[in-house]
Structure 1
Amino acid sequence: MSVVTADVIVIGLGAMGGAAFRSLASRGLRVVGIEQHSVPHALGSSHGETRIIRKAYFEHPDYVPLLRRSYELWGDLETAIGQQLYHETGLLLIGPPDGEAIPGARLAAERHGIAIEPLSAADLRRRFPWITPREGDECLFEPEAGFLEVERCVEAQVRDGERRQGTAACGERVVEWSAEGRVARVVTDRGRYEAGALVIAGGPWASRLLHEMHVPLEVVRKPVVWFRSRPGAVAPTCGFFVEQEGRAFYGVPSLERGMTKLAEHTGGNVVEDADRVDRLLRSEDVGPLQTFAETTLRDIDSTPVRSAVCLYTLTPDRHFVIDQHPGHANVAVACGFSGHGFKFAPVVGEALADLAVRGESALPIGFLQNRSWT
């Protein structure tokens, strides 16, 4: 079997790997991307029609500079392909004043000068009559937030990388990889590859590829369900994130008029094998979403219209890993995006390309590197 050579190999062509593939190809490098499924596909983390993107980042204010760069890069991709991928609808954050979302968003907004609007109960009734907060909840509106068309984003990154002379090898499963000195090798069930550097962005399959790093990743099954607003009702017009009694729910307007996608950000069942995931909608999946819809959203028919199952790959601290492999200076890795990573895909790809080619990045990713898991 002949060996395919390149400057850089990318394992995984989902959100992060696809972005790295495009970033490397845009630098004029010979890059080969290896994907075990198709581009896009509905078996990992990057599907389900839409993903929220926002700047007042309650998870940690250090993400904000990366978000600003990500917004720029999503815009660059839209220009490159001549299509709209981002929809600026704004985002409602609702929750207790001592919860995670409201104080965290305020902190990020204050530290980085992001526009957010506090809304009174009267404001909410007037501007967003389709949602009902709980007594004592606070509400913020971030006007410069919205959603991305997730499958189209994944495909656009890879296709634009191919346009820039990258090679995407789909339907190939990685059997093993190795690195020695300045040479990285990958063996798949269909071929052999060799390059000067390697990027590993395995999504829910990361533990299988990165067992030497001992990152304790946990994969969690996440059902998402679409509900229709009743005839004549005002359907949700923007994304929303709501904290209630230790749980968090989010929703996004569907591309189909009058439909809303709902999911629970918290909870979920641990998946032992990302190749064996229950993808049927169970009563225990839909029950909490129906209760949320019936108590918080007005005029929503709580009969599911359609559903999907996505996967979160969680780190212990719920922050990403974007780093060099500790044993191989020419191997860059990204994993553990913990259910809030998609919006960062193009900047993660840029950082991975930097790490693979130069061994460092000027992007502010230090807080996502060199973490101890022992």
Structure 2
Amino acid sequence: MSATYDFIVLGAGGFGSSAFYHLAKRGARVLGLEQFDAAHDRGSSHGETRVIRKAYFEHPDYVPLLQRAYDLWRELEAECGRTLYHEVGLLLGGLPGSGVITGAKIAAERHNLRLETLTSTEAAERFPAYRIPQKFAVLYEPEAGYLEVESCVRAHLDAAVNRGADLHVNEKVLEWKVDGPVVRVRTERGEYEAGGLVMTAGAWSSRRLAELKIPLQVLRKIMFWYETPLEKFDAAAGNGCFFFETANGEFYGFPRIDGKVKLAEHGGGDLVEDPISLDRKLHPEDSAWPGKFVESFMPDLPTRAAQHVVCMYTKTPDSHFIVDRHPEHDNVVIGAGFSGHGFKFTSSIGESLADLVDQKRTSLPIEFLSLGRKALRT
């Protein structure tokens, strides 16, 4: 006999854990299915920290989703009784006409956000951890900071389970199908049916949604940690998160936590053919450009990292997300292609996914993330 639920969430990582929580919060009977353990390190939502910011240089249409995300993170903190978001500020740097600088200014102006403009000299005096080129334009967003990524996933999962939801971890899905108003999911352990399905499969999205032929690319990405005894890299010393657009790539990072400064390159990445066999080893070429960035922009750090972690970006052609209903099944909702800048949105996008599967609509402005947009047509 199949177990029956109101909704099933397939994939309980960053976005799936949030949708799982928001459905449980509404009193729905909900099942979360995860092929690995809870808050695992096999996908895209791990590595201790993720930046959260409002002056969104990628596109100003994201800002309302961020404003809702900030509110929801604070609500989740109150529910779980621990800090998830650390408001330490964000330093943005790049040439005056760069996408980072112009995009952040447009978002701030359109949505009346706090964003300080600094000269490179002012920035160097205020943030001595960095060597900032004189030709750079510099912005500072005081309301930005970082999220504790694994803790956020666990908080969503735990809060959902506390509200009566069922979470099945280490259970691989074999197939799913729709039979009119009923969705059926078969796993290696059993069969389940529900009135609606939320598909948040991360790097496995193309395989789970093969019939749609969504043009997604999965990229191998590496995060590095550099050890330092210097307190000037601490948030308490005024050093927050950073993002620099340079001639050799886009690099972002965090204040010193537990004696280490974490940074990574946002662009580039090797194509991953099979996410299950992701190459997690560190090769010499992996650390070349991050090392050069450290040497040029953060010279008081060692150029050799003490630690690394490998994760994946699942990218759409235009680097924007997919948040929409399945074009053939209105009781199946898709969250995919979060393109390496999505985690900060998991609280609000999870709410939107819950809205779409539960109410068939959402009040949040996600139209620009539709599956039918031109960039996704093959």
TM-score class, shorter: over 0.9
Taking structure 2 as the reference length, what is the TM-score of the superposition?
A: 0.96
The answer to whether the 8 Å contact 1:50/1:254 transfers is no
The answer to whether the 8 Å contact 1:180/1:328 transfers is no
Alignment partner, residue 97 of structure 2: 98
Secondary structure of the corresponding residue to residue 43 of structure 2: coil
Which deviates more, 334-343 or 299-308?
Answer: 299-308
Alignment partner, residue 368 of structure 1: 369
Which deviates more, 290-299 or 108-117?
Answer: 290-299
Secondary structure of the corresponding residue to residue 48 of structure 1: coil
The answer to whether the 8 Å contact 1:233/1:299 transfers is no
The answer to whether the 8 Å contact 2:124/2:132 transfers is no
Secondary structure of the corresponding residue to residue 304 of structure 1: coil
1:123 equivalent to 2:122? Answer yes
2: CA distance between counterparts of 1:368 and 1:205? 19
Structure 1: which amino acid aligns with 2:241? Answer: G
1: CA distance between counterparts of 2:331 and 2:287? 45
Matches within 5 A, 1:204-215: 204-215=203-214
Alignment partner, residue 16 of structure 1: 15
1: CA distance between counterparts of 2:155 and 2:231? 35
Structure 2: which amino acid aligns with 1:17? Answer: G
Quick check: which one's strand share is greater?
1
2: CA distance between counterparts of 1:151 and 1:106? 31
- CA apart distance, 1:246: 5.7
- CA apart distance, 1:255: 2.8
- CA apart distance, 1:362: 1.1
The answer to whether the 8 Å contact 2:120/2:135 transfers is no
Alignment partner, residue 250 of structure 1: 252
The answer to whether the 8 Å contact 1:67/1:344 transfers is yes
- CA apart distance, 1:303: 2.2
Secondary structure of the corresponding residue to residue 261 of structure 1: strand
Taking structure 1 as the reference length, what is the TM-score of the superposition?
A: 0.97
The answer to whether the 8 Å contact 1:221/1:270 transfers is yes
Alignment partner, residue 240 of structure 1: 242
RMSD over aligned CA atoms reads 1.0
Q: Where in structure 2 are there 5+ consecutive unaligned residues?
A: none
In the alignment of these two chains, the number of paired residues is 371
Q: What is the percentage of aligned positions where both structures have the same residue?
A: 48
Secondary structure of the corresponding residue to residue 276 of structure 2: coil
Q: Deviations over 1:298-346 (max 9, x none)?
A: 3101221111001000000000000000110000000000000000001
- CA apart distance, 1:253: 2.0
- CA apart distance, 1:360: 1.1
Alignment partner, residue 317 of structure 1: 318
Matches within 5 A, 1:95-174: 95-174=94-173
Alignment partner, residue 35 of structure 2: 36
- CA apart distance, 1:122: 2.5
The answer to whether the 8 Å contact 2:233/2:256 transfers is no
Q: Where in structure 1 are there 5+ consecutive unaligned residues?
A: none
The answer to whether the 8 Å contact 2:56/2:104 transfers is yes
Alignment partner, residue 283 of structure 1: 284
Structure 2: which amino acid aligns with 1:294? Answer: E
2: CA distance between counterparts of 1:307 and 1:103? 32
Which deviates more, 126-135 or 55-64?
Answer: 126-135
Alignment partner, residue 68 of structure 1: 67
1:26 equivalent to 2:25? Answer yes
1: CA distance between counterparts of 2:64 and 2:231? 39
Structure 2: which amino acid aligns with 1:219? Answer: V
Structure 1: which amino acid aligns with 2:334? Answer: V
Structure 1: which amino acid aligns with 2:136? Answer: D
Q: Deviations over 1:126-152 (max 9, x none)?
A: 210010122311000000000000000
